[in-house]
A and B are shown apart, each in its own frame.
Chain A
Amino acid sequence: MKLAKINKWFGEKHVLKDVSLEFPAGQTTVLVGPSGSGKSTILRSLNLLEQPDRGTYDFDKLHLNFAKSVSRKQKLLLRQKTGMVFQDYNLFPHLTVLQNVTEGPIRVLKKSKEAANQEALEILSKVGLCDFAGSYPAQLSGGQAQRVAIARALAMKPEYVLLDEPTSALDPELELEVLRVLLKLAQENQSLIIVTHNMVFARRVADRIVFVEDGTIKYDGDPTAFFAPDNPDERIRHFIAAMTMEELEA
């Protein structure tokens, strides 16, 4: 999975400037950076919820050039290979937990209801929620809802799971429930791309850190070097210090 020289404008605002990134399979990439830096836009470009204006995108054998138009077929193909988890879950409120998870496999992958149900229950027990299969989203806590959303993404057997600030709407205890699930997935070598503000978690789970600021990539590499107190980049040192509140008393 590879983005090259991606550019995106929202009106007059140039939000992504020649962004090039590669996402090797089986790794956990964590995108960090200040709000409005463009990290969510990068993530949303990966499954074309946001379509860049210029640049190219390679995924397996699929090659997209955003200067030309992207066909509907390419779009749907790409979305089947990527799962998406949103900050505010976006579960389907009129469907049960089980139906939320099986909707994609049945409608998009055309699986039988029996097969889809069985797989969904397996995935739900993996995220610790098989007892909630018959519940409706409104009956769940935020942490449970987000774990269902992860199960919904996993049910499509995506090559990559994209997570857009998956725990920003949760209090710390519920956040932990979700992070445990993500850590487990990372350890199983599921390819994950996570946008987060949680530096402790980023450090723990990331195989690789990408620091985005002002629509450009300021750091792309090893987490240990990124979090090292002697990181030569002063801006990054400052960012980490702010996120971990090291300078609260300063």
Chain B
Amino acid sequence: MWHTIQSSLPELLAAGFKYTIPLALVSFFWGLLIALLVALIRLSRQNGVFKILKGIAVFYVWLFRSTPLLVQLFIVFFGLPHLVIPGVFPDGVQLKPFTAGVITFSLNTGAYASETIRAAIASVPKGQWEAAEAIGMTRLQVLWRIILPQALRVALPPLANSFISLVKDTSLAASITIAEMFSVAQQITAENYEPLLMYIIVALIYALFTTVLSRLQAWMEKSLAKTAPVQ
């Protein structure tokens, strides 16, 4: 048993640091950007172009929250190559596995996180907008300097939850040929026929990663509470 652990651990960790963590980090970064944009569109006033954008935003959130992540991965990686658009994609939309993974995970995370961010922004009292606008700040300044820092405190715990889920969900990327941690565990199992041991090891590594993240979250919440006590 020790021999199995010793020989597989370096390989698993390497896959974790090379694929699992980058996949989660990059996807979360883009997911947050998408989420912020979608949240702002959904909170904007209803007129002109925004009405159309709002419709698109609502549809996007509905689409990604109401379908399974695994199916989304399959559509993007296996399905899109069959989407032939003459002139633009004459050979179909061909994506590298990692790119397909990042696109799907970003869009999926973005849909969930946009709801979190929307609620967090809406939770900041209207008086904060008024006070900041009354000193002559532009709407963008108000948002960036006054509203978002306060919204972050509200949004941090659920966003950390989303990130932790995302780290675990990257294991689904094994199915679109990305050599991340879980797919490496499967490969090793195919050689040594020790599924119980191998899958427990890989589970423990995921648990280790997410525990570190939980600790990080607790630390961030504490330091935010220190610099900005709730009124």
Choice from A86, A93, A103 contacting B150 with Cβ under 8 Å: A93
| Pair A94/B130 contact, Cβ less than 8 Å | no
Choice from B133, B136, B145 contacting A49 with Cβ under 8 Å: B133
Q: With both chains docked as a complex, state the minimum distance between the C-beta of B227 and any C-beta of chain A, in angstroms.
A: 7
| B5 sits at the interface (CB 8 A) | no
For chain B, residues 102 to 146, give those with C-beta under 8 angstroms from any C-beta of chain A. 125, 127-128, 130-138, 141, 145-146
By a beta-carbon cutoff of 8 Å, the part of chain B in contact with chain A is 125, 127-128, 130-138, 141, 145-146, 149-150, 153, 227-231
| Pair A86/B127 contact, Cβ less than 8 Å | yes
In the assembly, what is the distance between CA of A72 and CA of B141, in Å?
A: 14
By a beta-carbon cutoff of 8 Å, the part of chain A in contact with chain B is 47, 49, 72, 76, 79-80, 82-84, 86, 88, 90-95, 103-104, 107-108, 136-139, 149, 152-153, 156
| Pair A139/B229 contact, Cβ less than 8 Å | yes
In the assembly, what is the distance between CA of A86 and CA of B137, in Å?
A: 17
List, in ascending order, chain B residues with CB within 8 A of A80's CB: 136
In the assembly, what is the distance between CA of A149 and CA of B130, in Å?
A: 13
Q: Main SS of the interface on chain B?
A: helix
Choice from A83, A86, A103, A153 contacting B130 with Cβ under 8 Å: A86
Closest 9 CB pairs of A and B: A104-B135, A90-B131, A94-B228, A84-B134, A93-B231, A90-B127, A138-B229, A108-B136, A79-B136
A sample of 28 inter-chain contacts (CB < 8 A) reads A47-B134, A49-B133, A49-B134, A72-B138, A76-B136, A79-B133, A79-B135, A82-B134, A84-B134, A86-B127, A86-B130, A86-B131, A90-B125, A90-B130, A91-B131, A92-B131, A93-B150, A93-B228, A95-B228, A103-B135, A103-B137, A104-B135, A104-B136, A107-B137, A108-B137, A138-B229, A152-B135, A153-B134
| Pair B138/A138 contact, Cβ less than 8 Å | no
| Pair A138/B146 contact, Cβ less than 8 Å | no
Q: With both chains docked as a complex, state the minimum distance between the C-beta of A165 and any C-beta of chain B, in angstroms.
A: 13
List, in ascending order, chain A residues with CB within 8 A of B131's CB: 84, 86, 90-92, 149
Given contacts A90-B125, A108-B136, 16 further A-B contacts (CB under 8 A): A47-B134, A49-B134, A83-B135, A84-B130, A84-B131, A84-B134, A84-B135, A90-B130, A91-B131, A91-B231, A93-B230, A93-B231, A137-B231, A138-B231, A139-B229, A153-B134
In the assembly, what is the distance between CA of A79 and CA of B230, in Å?
A: 28
